[in-house]
Chain A
Amino acid sequence: MSNIKYILGHFDDPEVLMNGIDKLQKSNIKIEDVFTPFPIHGIENKLGIKRSRLPIAAFIFGITGTITAFSMVYYMLVHDWPMNIGGKPAFAFPDFIPVMFELTVLFCAYGMVFTFFYVNHLFPGRAPRVMDLRATDDRFIIAIDAKTNDVNAVDAVLKDAGAVEIKHNARKYISYDEE
């Protein structure tokens, strides 16, 4: 028994899954995570998941891009090698704006994608880590930490809530490579 790390309750219907979450929460069982093949409305609020901080990261990447572009253009066109373009002053700010805009978008887009990859442990060539393969197919899965909860009690609640299958996993993640 002691080598069980996670209990996975499999459901085959999102409605039943949502009721199952309610029942577990009523029994004071802490839910580690829930995996579903498609997004379910309102599930984040039910599980109390905080909103992603990706927008904040996006803002910081964007403003970094703006500053980079401004410094770069300023250094090139005003400081290092001022040129007479159409009789305008070297520091012709309106001309800088398209470059600043583009680098803002570039930094923001790449920054967000790489942040997303980093947070989700997704790298090219790395097999994704999942707790159960069928969560990407046809099963709605509730994962519960077995170390901090009574396994038998959890099983009983899950069965009562209509779980079609209950798995006891000795490891947190399984890999696509293994099966």
Chain B
Amino acid sequence: MANFDLNQRYEFSAGAKRWSIILLAIGILSVGYGLFSGHAERTFANLLLNSYYITGLCMAGLFFIAVQYVANAGWATALIRIPSAFSAVLPWAGLVLVAVIVSGLYTHNLYHHWADPDLVNPNSPKFDKLIEGKSALLNLPVFIGSITGFLIIWSLFSRMLRSYSTKEDQIAGIGMHDKSVKFSAIFLVIFGFTSAIFAFQVIMSLEAHWFSTMFAWYNFAALWVSGLSAITLTLIILREQGYFTWINDSHLHDLGKFVFAFSVFWTYIWFSQFLLIYYANMPEETIYFKHRMENGYLPLFWLNLIINFVLPLLILMTRDAKRNFKTMKIVTIILLAGHWLDYYIMIMPGTVGAEHGFGIIEIGTTAGFIGLFMWIMLTSLSKAALVPKNHPYLEESLHHDI
């Protein structure tokens, strides 16, 4: 087999830096435009969407690493530094998310469905019994505290796993690996519960009367598919630039299987949530989908299913498609856009309702967050070698052949 330069490092080139700064500047300008042109609520909904999206990508990166460790999987070792760089963005993405949520709460009442003391005051004419019943979870200290707390806990785990991995580069031996396996297992248990509450609080509480236990899984599926797509896309683009030459079509095949399988999983969860509500036909539940079928959301509602289910199902079904770098590049870009739309349909009807749109604010804010994510992710990627050279499964991964 060919000799690879396993000490290769990513160099955050001036071109890539320029692009991320341009995107970030576009983002800041369009947020400014949105805030001062009378579209403040729509801007905040977009900020929430995008910061939740990139936090999801970072969570997916961390989850990917933890799953690989716990499952004793070797195939992804040669590309593990990409999800690792994703997970390194988590503290920053979390900071942005909390900043958006807190400023939204205190300036524009982003969570107006429940964040109003009158709603839980029995003497007020606005008193809402349902909201009062949920006030143990949906009150400002618990809300902000738990979201911040979860993000801090996950960030600590991402720091820990990353530092073990970089320490492993310095000192050979199995010690760091064993530690990583142990803390990955602990992380996964914590993540399983906290990510559910996180999704309930950040997104589901936008429409606080409605609830669905499926929602946690639905959000997890969305973040996992978009995370896998982002990991694959980053890998393909870096490989085109001459990095990761050791990645072969078998690695891509496995990533493709992940993307394919979890697109179907996403649909499964989406449909499970939809079917139960459709079948039971209870007004307090169906209202969620009614909001998503009127005010111009209906085409988006269908487009969501076509992009995130039908397209990956048909395109990625064959083995050859999953092993083709060009096909995978196109599909992952489509899926990243598709799950942006998915979050759009989750967030917009409950915040801006009929005032939604797609224009400078949406495109600009998204561009800004892409720039922000690119900048921090590529900086973290350049800080360590592209392969963990003392990882016990590295040899297995370099010979990956399926």
Residues of A within 8 A of B (CB): 41-42, 51, 55, 59, 86-88, 94-95, 97-98
Find chain B residues with CB under 8 A from A94 CB: 271, 274-275, 278-279
B281 to chain A, nearest CB (A): 6
A164 to chain B, nearest CB (A): 28
Please name all residues of chain B whose beta carbon is closer than 8 Å to the beta carbon of A41 when the two chains form the complex: 401
What are 21 inter-chain pairs, A to B, with CB distance below 8 A? Answer: A41-B401, A42-B401, A51-B319, A55-B318, A55-B319, A59-B317, A86-B279, A86-B281, A87-B281, A88-B281, A94-B271, A94-B274, A94-B275, A94-B278, A94-B279, A95-B275, A95-B278, A95-B279, A97-B271, A97-B275, A98-B275
Chain A residues near B279 (CB, 8 Å)?
86, 94-95
Residues of chain B having any CB pair with chain A under 8 Å? 271, 274-275, 278-279, 281, 317-319, 401
Chain B residues positioned under 8 Å from A51 (CB to CB): 319
A144 to B275, CA, bound (A): 58
Bound: A59/B318 CA distance, A: 10
**A42 and chain B: residue at smallest CB distance:** B401
Q: What residues on A are CB-neighbors of B317 within 8 Å? A: 59
A88 to B275 alpha-carbon distance, docked (Å)? 13
B10 to chain A, nearest CB (A): 30
What is the CA–CA distance of A42 and B318 in the complex, to the nearest angstrom? Answer: 21
Q: Which residues of A contact B274 (CB under 8 A)?
A: 94
Closest-CB distance, B292 to chain A (whole angstroms) = 15
Q: Smallest CB–CB gap between B316 and chain A, Å?
A: 13
Which residue of the partner chain A has the closest CB to B399? A41
A86 and B271 alpha carbons, distance in the complex (Å): 19
Which 3 residue pairs across A and B have the least CB separation, nearest first? A94-B278, A41-B401, A94-B275
Min CB distance, B256 to chain A, in Å? Answer: 14
Closest to A45 in B: B401
Q: Determine the chain A residues whose CB is within 8 A of the CB of B319 once the complex forms.
A: 51, 55
How many whole Å from B253's CB to the nearest CB in chain A? 13
How far, in angstroms, from A59 to B275 measured CA to CA in the complex?
25
Measured in the bound complex, the distance between the Cα atoms of B271 and A32 in whole Å is: 50
A61 to chain B, nearest CB (A): 14
Q: Give the complex CA separation of A88 and B280 in angstroms.
A: 11
**Chain B residue nearest in CB terms to A86:** B281
- B80 nearest CB across to chain A (Å): 22
Closest chain A residue to B275 by CB distance? A94
B318 neighbours in A (Cβ, 8 Å): 55
The smallest C-beta distance from B276 to any residue of chain A, in angstroms, reads: 10
* Closest residue of B by beta carbon distance from A98: B275
Q: In the complex, what's the smallest C-beta–C-beta distance from B372 to chain A, in angstroms? A: 39
Cα distance, A42 to B1, chains bound together (Å): 13
Given A41-B401, A87-B281, A94-B275, 16 further pairs, Cβ under 8 A: A42-B401, A55-B318, A55-B319, A59-B317, A86-B279, A86-B281, A88-B281, A94-B271, A94-B274, A94-B278, A95-B275, A95-B278, A95-B279, A97-B271, A97-B275, A98-B275
In whole Å, how far is A108's beta carbon from the nearest beta carbon of chain B?
Answer: 13
- Nearest A residue to B317 via CB reads A59
**Shortest CB–CB separation between residue A20 and chain B, in angstroms?**
21
What is the bound-complex CA distance between A55 and B260, given in angstroms? 15
- Interfacial chain A residues near B275, Cβ < 8 Å: 94-95, 97-98
Question: What residues on B are CB-neighbors of A55 within 8 Å?
Answer: 318-319
User: In the complex, what residues of A have CB within 8 A of residue B278's CB?
Assistant: 94-95
- Give the complex CA separation of A59 and B319 in angstroms: 13
* Chain B residues closer than 8 Å to A98, beta-carbon distance: 275
A87 to B319, CA, bound (A): 44
Q: Separation in Å of the B178 CB from the closest CB of chain A?
A: 28
Measured CA separation A59–B313 after assembly (Å) = 12
Cα A94 to Cα B281 in complex, Å, equals: 13
